[in-house]
Structure 1
């Protein structure tokens, strides 16, 4: 850790904008650093001290605005113009703020209420229903929902129009921070971390560190968690702890990842950084020496090395070694194992490499069996050592079987029974193929009917035959059916995404008769039933009912029609908020079409009350 600045007072917020690092401290200095962490410029806001341990200092999404909180006062600045816009006073202390698209500011605090401020007119325009305890942090999930953390351990998801809310009590201690970037994350006082589904408002994952929480930073797939004296790295994608002692340092308070550096502020205002690619030279040296154990040890200790060029080289080199070894297994087992030896020293690679060696030791024998037509031995080896199924020789084996079986089928159809037997003779000793061979030789008409039913997409008939003759699952036709079903399922999902609902329904109706995909098809059809109901309500101008449905089924909120309804309301509401300053009657006229909508009325009523 290298110290690069001593502010002498704690940091309240880090923010990255236009490749510059913005630092706001307790006494409201805004300091800007370049990518080399050299001081670029700065200025000071005329405002009372803020509280670094709370969440009352935040930038807007694009960095145009900055809100700073001091007790019951919230100041708002246009940072681009270094201009103070307004200071808002509340009856009680504010503990958290959050911006929505440079348009609104939310403020919440010890009274359990969240206030919305329109940044264009700089007026309070709404107040959400009171929560029973302190609001400790706030984040806008999207334009329709806001998420708040409570001192009572709650995470509250509230609709910004209907004010309906869902409270989730999953944390062990009071919530300390909520943030949304690539993921929506909340943390409590003992670093109990929850990853949320931003549409369903349910928990996707959680991990407990049981360490006093200071801060976290979401950086792509990595979550960096800061306790007072330790830095932990969590993989949000794979949901695993990568390193729970990445760094150990005293009195850490805030963290940010910037310019491939981890920057940490301490409680006394000192700024330190660690170059996250510091060990890359050591990694490259380990690769050059084929010391894969050391290479992976370095990566385990510093997961950020996975983003380096060195890691790309490691993966590429590893793949080349495995390919080289597989080729050598055809000629010399000893030489092949020798090539893989460096990878065997890597603990988390050992099982994979040992399996590869165990399986590919039989490659020469397998290749010989395939090429010499000893199919019984070839299939026996492939079934025992499944890695062999990835080789070109297994593809040759399966192709020979398919061509032979098809020729035999045609021979039986043409009445050339002996010729069919002769063709199939090399495969007679293959246990897994024997039932299908016997079916062809004894009941060829079943196979013919099976082919016809697949061709006609008579899948009910197909599965009726499969129940009587499960050996048909070994046939090429069945394999083709599974490929067809998988592709059709992908198309159905694509149609859903593109909102081509009739096409999605048609695909799902076909899939419904393919037993392996029946559940997936029913899931799609159930979704479509709700979507069609939603669209019908809109067509009948029953917008309120449609919006109620959207609260029940989160996938409806992804539809263009839903977004259009919401966008129209937001724009109308913003215009009405402006009009309320001078002409209340005109403002209410603008909102006339929403006056009987239960899903919009709470927000409108709140606006009227707040702006009186």
Structure 2
């Protein structure tokens, strides 16, 4: 792969970020921030911070999505700092880690900065107030990496303790740990659809289901230290940049490695990012190179080769750029090949081998296709013998050949044989249930003697005729649950047309219900889902669908009655409602109100905060975020009391009250350090005070003054 654009700097490129349609942000190891024209890579603006970094495998700098704020670690790795980018204004710094700062990050919406340390603690700083607000679940050893979902609702941290901690930022609650690595986890990266990628020191790579904490897949083929990770092309590809200068690529649908040498540079790959608008991979290296690659480079050439029927050259293009296999021209080529295969099969069925070989001529120079051609021709080498057995009604011999050559099952002749078997079986079952005609059963089934799969079925039918009768009667009277219970007792019934028809019926019912839901006919869909409760394959989904339909009725009823508390409660239980127009409006309203309340909390305006959040007080899922807002408001009251030189005893009383309501939070710890500076002889010890828990806080505990 060759880059389509490149630039170079004197220091390693350690961070890149797409700012907008025209601007690329690039940061080097001296924390020189460059704003580049995304089309030409020409310098538009520059910001020098002059902090040198020698670590390339961890996040030492991070920008908010709009680049309004940035975080970085100082050159001694002892302090993390938060700046407002305009004017390089220092907003706050974190210097309380017991050891080095291992990495920093700002979540996508620019609400929080995180500082991770070697002691395993990650501090969360509210950017608006520049105050320490909370800590993430700690690791037993140092934190190695931190990642966020695109919507900023989830954060994951990896640690040297071999664990991954998950935290719900929207709810401000821990979500447990992911444990499957046998070595320190060095990298984490969220993928779409509730998945997470992680990589450990032994190069073991895992894709997780975040909600269930289960391992989805283990990625193979990593034999080098990975320094940088990114996903691209609508979360289809995972790119890994290594210390030896390779970019590895994985398919995030199949979890297969697409290429282990997609790109090769002469030095370590220190940063990766992806421009979705242009389908371009942006690569930064330790020797200061900034390179941009079109991941679908030569797609136009591929289209031309297809039009010119130069199929062997297509394979060469795919070898040069494996991602071209995911383009429309290559899909068209594969469809053309499949159609050619089908045409060849039809010709071979009609004993036209020469014509079959002729239509393959355009693919002969492609080794993989040639192999398939030869296999197909070999499979049909005994087809004439198969036809002769069928014509002479030597069915056992015909079926034996089919077992040797499974492709024959796709032929019209074989399908005709199977159709005749089905007709004969139905007739035999009919006669078996009639005492006057039962003697004809052996005559009908005689041609199938010696065919193992048929003989077993016939024998079971004879032995279990009463079960078969009950099975048919249950279907006739629409007692589907009973019919399926009988099948559990007699597995052989699954081979019968009645069972297959029953399963097809349930499949069709399900599809019909989905169409009805799409058309808004929930009543009819509900009736069908109640029928589907009888079918094991659909029971769980039917229950969920019935519950969701009922929830939707209650939800939209609550909206109509302006009962927002009930609407939010229902929406918390049924996530899909959040994607509805009303759900989006409710969430937007909550986010807006929470922001307003948060802003008032910074001024200790309790009454105003209560007024804004009043309608959310009965919603359990909002309680922790509401608690956090009032915690912030009451800390502000304490700081005001300190600034206004309020008497020591009253402030101490406020500290005690705060701890009764919220427990020993990082906010009160930070405030207490400032309090001791002003009142060094205080006898209060916050570690020995009676403590509540912020997780146990309830709206009934709101007080106008913590003092």
Query: What TM-score do you get using the length of structure 1 for normalisation?
Result: 0.75
Aligned partners of 2:13 and 2:26 also within 8 Å? yes
Aligned partners of 1:56 and 1:95 also within 8 Å? yes
Q: Residues 98-134 of structure 1: CA distance to partner in whole angstroms, max 9, x if unpaired?
A: 334x36233223272332435xx56547323462555
Counterpart among 25, 33, 46 of residue 29 in structure 1: 33
In the aligned structure 2, how far is the partner of 1:180 from the partner of 1:226?
17
Kindly state the Cα deviation for residue 22 of structure 1 after the two structures are TM-superposed.
Answer: 1.0
Kindly state the Cα deviation for residue 481 of structure 1 after the two structures are TM-superposed.
Answer: 1.9
Counterpart among 288, 292, 295 of residue 269 in structure 1: 288
Counterpart among 229, 232, 236 of residue 216 in structure 1: 229
Q: Residues 48-96 of structure 1: CA distance to partner in whole angstroms, max 9, x if unpaired?
A: 54757342544555x575534253322245xxxx787873333355832
Counterpart among 327, 347, 360 of residue 308 in structure 1: 327
Distance 1:382 1:477, change over 3 A: farther
In the aligned structure 1, how far is the partner of 2:594 from the partner of 2:273?
36
In the alignment, structure 1 residue 149 sits paired with structure 2 residue 158: yes
SS at match of 1:393: helix
Q: Partner residue of 1:164?
A: 174
In the alignment, structure 1 residue 88 sits paired with structure 2 residue 108: no
In the aligned structure 2, how far is the partner of 1:422 from the partner of 1:233?
61
SS at match of 1:96: strand
Q: Partner residue of 2:674?
A: none
Kindly state the Cα deviation for residue 227 of structure 1 after the two structures are TM-superposed.
Answer: 0.8
In the alignment, structure 1 residue 382 sits paired with structure 2 residue 402: yes
Q: Partner residue of 1:331?
A: 351
In the aligned structure 1, how far is the partner of 2:407 from the partner of 2:487?
29
In the aligned structure 1, how far is the partner of 2:314 from the partner of 2:543?
49
Kindly state the Cα deviation for residue 32 of structure 1 after the two structures are TM-superposed.
Answer: 3.0
In the alignment, structure 1 residue 206 sits paired with structure 2 residue 234: no
Aligned partners of 2:395 and 2:448 also within 8 Å? no
In the aligned structure 2, how far is the partner of 1:164 from the partner of 1:115?
13
Q: Partner residue of 1:253?
A: 270
In the alignment, structure 1 residue 478 sits paired with structure 2 residue 478: no
SS at match of 2:11: coil
Kindly state the Cα deviation for residue 168 of structure 1 after the two structures are TM-superposed.
Answer: 3.1
In the alignment, structure 1 residue 178 sits paired with structure 2 residue 186: no
Q: Residues 565-599 of structure 1: CA distance to partner in whole angstroms, max 9, x if unpaired?
A: 97776444322111113342125524466499675
Aligned partners of 1:215 and 1:253 also within 8 Å? yes
Q: Partner residue of 1:75?
A: 83
Aligned partners of 1:65 and 1:76 also within 8 Å? yes
Distance 1:88 1:324, change over 3 A: same
Counterpart among 146, 160, 174 of residue 138 in structure 1: 146
Distance 1:447 1:177, change over 3 A: closer
Q: Residues 169-209 of structure 1: CA distance to partner in whole angstroms, max 9, x if unpaired?
A: 54523524534457532345665433232323444333362
Aligned partners of 1:28 and 1:44 also within 8 Å? yes
Q: Residues 358-408 of structure 1: CA distance to partner in whole angstroms, max 9, x if unpaired?
A: 443344444565577665554444344332222333333333444455566
SS at match of 1:45: strand
SS at match of 2:146: strand
SS at match of 1:243: strand
In the alignment, structure 1 residue 243 sits paired with structure 2 residue 259: yes
Query: What TM-score do you get using the length of structure 2 for normalisation?
Result: 0.66
Q: Partner residue of 1:225?
A: 240
Q: Partner residue of 1:114?
A: 123
In the aligned structure 2, how far is the partner of 1:494 from the partner of 1:123?
51
Counterpart among 14, 17, 39 of residue 15 in structure 1: 17
Q: Partner residue of 2:135?
A: 128
In the aligned structure 2, how far is the partner of 1:205 from the partner of 1:508?
32
Kindly state the Cα deviation for residue 7 of structure 1 after the two structures are TM-superposed.
Answer: 2.4
Distance 1:234 1:422, change over 3 A: closer
In the aligned structure 2, how far is the partner of 1:364 from the partner of 1:20?
66
In the aligned structure 2, how far is the partner of 1:477 from the partner of 1:163?
52
In the aligned structure 1, how far is the partner of 2:618 from the partner of 2:52?
41
Distance 1:31 1:334, change over 3 A: same
Q: Partner residue of 1:393?
A: 413
Give RMSD over aligned pairs: 5.2
Aligned partners of 2:71 and 2:104 also within 8 Å? no
Unaligned runs of 5+ in 1: none
In the aligned structure 2, how far is the partner of 1:503 from the partner of 1:126?
50
Q: Partner residue of 2:530?
A: 506
SS at match of 2:126: strand
Distance 1:316 1:493, change over 3 A: closer
Aligned partners of 1:162 and 1:602 also within 8 Å? no
In the aligned structure 2, how far is the partner of 1:277 from the partner of 1:24?
23
Kindly state the Cα deviation for residue 608 of structure 1 after the two structures are TM-superposed.
Answer: 3.8
In the aligned structure 1, how far is the partner of 2:191 from the partner of 2:107?
12
In the aligned structure 2, how far is the partner of 1:471 from the partner of 1:176?
51
Deviates more, 1:375-384 or 1:590-599: 590-599
SS at match of 1:312: helix
SS at match of 1:331: coil
Kindly state the Cα deviation for residue 265 of structure 1 after the two structures are TM-superposed.
Answer: 1.8
In the aligned structure 2, how far is the partner of 1:17 from the partner of 1:184?
24
In the aligned structure 1, how far is the partner of 2:461 from the partner of 2:143?
73
Q: Partner residue of 1:193?
A: 205
Q: Partner residue of 1:321?
A: 340
Distance 1:453 1:354, change over 3 A: farther
Q: Partner residue of 1:39?
A: 41
Aligned partners of 2:60 and 2:72 also within 8 Å? yes
SS at match of 2:347: helix
Q: Residues 320-374 of structure 1: CA distance to partner in whole angstroms, max 9, x if unpaired?
A: 3312321231324466467669979877778866654444334444456557766
Aligned partners of 2:105 and 2:113 also within 8 Å? yes
Aligned partners of 2:510 and 2:528 also within 8 Å? no
Kindly state the Cα deviation for residue 155 of structure 1 after the two structures are TM-superposed.
Answer: 1.9
Distance 1:22 1:249, change over 3 A: same
Matches within 5 A, 1:355-366: 356-366=376-386
Distance 1:43 1:326, change over 3 A: same
Distance 1:466 1:442, change over 3 A: same
In the alignment, structure 1 residue 457 sits paired with structure 2 residue 478: yes
In the aligned structure 2, how far is the partner of 1:4 from the partner of 1:529?
55
Kindly state the Cα deviation for residue 24 of structure 1 after the two structures are TM-superposed.
Answer: 1.7
In the aligned structure 2, how far is the partner of 1:441 from the partner of 1:134?
70
Kindly state the Cα deviation for residue 211 of structure 1 after the two structures are TM-superposed.
Answer: 1.9
Q: Partner residue of 1:575?
A: 596
Aligned partners of 1:255 and 1:262 also within 8 Å? yes
Aligned partners of 1:125 and 1:610 also within 8 Å? no
Distance 1:487 1:154, change over 3 A: same
